[in-house]
Amino acid sequence: MERVLIAGGSSGMGLALAERLLREGCVVTIVGRSTEKLADAQEKLPQLTTVAADITQEDQVASLFAQCGRFDHIACTAADIGGAYQLLPDTDVAVMRKAMDSKLLGPLLLAKYGAPFLSASGSITFTSGIAYCRPAARGSVVAAINGGLNSLTYALAIELAPLRVNAVSPGWVDSPIWEFVAGDAKAGMLEGMAKKLPLGRVGHVDDIADAICFLMRNRFTTGSVLHVDGGHRLV
């Protein structure tokens, strides 16, 4: 029975991943900062174990693994980047640092403290995103973070071998983060992107959960960035 830790598992892609893994008989622990969101997730999926922790805080990450013990896989879908979509003259340094901490420093700390608690055939899977190779105005900070996370994936695949380290790079996915990025314009923005993509739709959170599961289980895949973007890189 596989034991999986999901950081950012209380909503969106992480919660979809948790639901899938539970159906497969895994023991799943989700980590998040919001006790309210964690409680909502556990109400929906009673089999979950939940832990309130901030992965950007080193002492909390260290305590997390000391408390929870060994795992077979770690996945990170956490991202606090909604406020980071700003034109350069308007960019707030505090907001930039918050985004970088959540999506780059947090995954690094999970790897630092989690690797010793992984089984010999274990894996770590990060979540980057299409912005690193298809940036847009207002997206420079997110592009830089996602590119850095991909590079971190390559480096840790070498340093932590034979543990496997990979990343999923989603395209536009209908997930709660869009409510922060676009607000009331969410539906229109997603519909507009769907018309541009070869598949004619944006992603679903289950699409990303499928991809993370593949990277967890395929034992000949490491140091890879798996693009799950509906062909966005081609248009």
Question: Residue 52 pLDDT more than 90?
Answer: yes
pLDDT at position 182 is: 63
Q: Is 63 domain-assigned?
A: yes
Question: Could you tell me if residue 234 is inside a domain?
Answer: no
Q: What is the pLDDT of residue 96?
A: 93
Residue range 67-115, pLDDT digits in tens: 999 999 999 999 988 788 889 999 999 999 999 999 999 999 999 999 9
Residue 117 covered by a domain: yes
pLDDT class of 189 with cuts at 50, 70, 90: confident
Q: What are the counts of helices (DSSP H) followed by strands (DSSP E) for the chain?
A: 9, 7
Q: What pLDDT, on a 0 to 100 scale, did the predictor assign at position 21?
A: 98
Q: What CATH number is attached to the domain comprising 66?
A: 3.40.50.720
Instruction: For residue 183, give its domain range.
Output: 3-227
Domain presence at residue 232 = no
Q: Report CA dihedral (217, 106, 160, 218) to the nearest 10 degrees.
A: 10
* C-alpha to C-alpha distance for 215 and 87, rounded to whole angstroms: 34
Q: Is the peptide bond before 162 cis (omega within 30 degrees of 0)?
A: yes
Tokens at residue 132, please? 């690193």
Burial of 136 (C-beta count, 10 Å sphere; 0-12/13-18/19+):
exposed
Amino acid at 156: L
Q: Compute CA distances 169 → 131, 143, 165, 204, whole Å.
A: 9, 12, 14, 13
Residues with Cβ within 8 Å of residue 24, at least 6 apart in sequence = none
- Looking at residue 136, its pLDDT comes to 86
Looking at the 3D structure of the chain, how many domains does it have?
1
Is 222 within the bounds of a domain? yes
Triad 70, 73, 79: Cα angle to 5°:
115
Structure token digits, residue 155: 């480096």
State the chain's mean pLDDT as an integer.
94
In 3D space, the residue among 73, 81, 150, 57 whose CA is nearest the CA of residue 114 turns out to be 73
Q: Give which of 86, 94, 110 is closest to 14, Cα–Cα.
A: 110
Q: Residue 13 falls within a domain, yes or no?
A: yes
Closest to 79 measured CA to CA, from 224, 208, 186, 230: 208
Residue 233 lies in a domain: no
Tell me whether residue 128 is in a domain: yes
**Bridge partners, 79 (sequence order):** none
Tokens of 106: 């947090």
pLDDT of residue 185: 76
Write out pLDDT tens, residues 146-187: 999 999 999 999 999 999 999 999 999 988 776 666 667 788
Is residue 18 predicted with pLDDT exceeding 70?
Answer: yes
Q: Are 230 and 199 in contact (CB under 8 A)?
A: yes
pLDDT reported for residue 98: 95
Beta 3-7 vs 71-76: how paired, if at all?
A: parallel
**Model pLDDT, residue 124:** 98
Token reading at 122: 């274990």
